[in-house]
Amino acid sequence: MFDTKIAIVLRDDLAAWQALNVTAFLATGLAAATPDLIGEPYVDRDANRYHPMSIQPMIVLAADAELMRTIHRRALERNVGAAAYVEEMFSTGHDAANRAVFAEFAPEDARLVGLAFRAEKKIADKITKGARMHP
């Protein structure tokens, strides 16, 4: 099927709207970094065209704050590129403000609420070890 796995890991204490918001932002980060991830447009029977989507399924996992830090560290140690979202980004209103607040933190002190990446299956499983399927 696929040699890679796409994982989106969310902190397990997020409100539903936050989890959905973070997932959407992280998925766009993956798409931007990996253009070959996007397939062809969809066309229905009446020839209406719809935007293309990912060619590969994405798994959404949950982890507590401590495990989020561990998963983040594991991804960095393995040089796996990722999209990341920190808690402080919930209080900003636009992209420049998001990037500014993100830049205030190092991996050790970031209050990470979401991380998404695409990696070889074995590596993805090692990085996300301990996380569970998001409810």
Identify the structural domains of the chain with CATH numbers, from first to last. 4-133 (3.40.1490.10)
List CB contacts of 24: < 8 A, sequence separation 6 or more. Answer: none
pLDDT tens-digit profile of 38-64? 999 999 999 999 999 999 999 999 999
Parallel, antiparallel, or unpaired for β 4-11 and 112-120? antiparallel
Between CA 79 and CA 82 the distance in angstroms is 9
Query: Which of 74-78, 92-96, 122-126 has the weakest average pLDDT?
Result: 92-96
82 closest CA partner among 90, 73, 91: 73
Which secondary structure element, helix H or strand E, spans residue 113, and what is its range? strand 112-120
pLDDT tens-digit profile of 79-103? 999 999 999 999 998 999 999 999 9
List, as one string, the DSSP characters of 65-111: HHHHHHHHHHHHHTT--EEEEEGGGGG--SHHHHHHHHTT--TTT--
pLDDT tens-digit profile of 5-28? 999 999 999 999 999 999 999 999
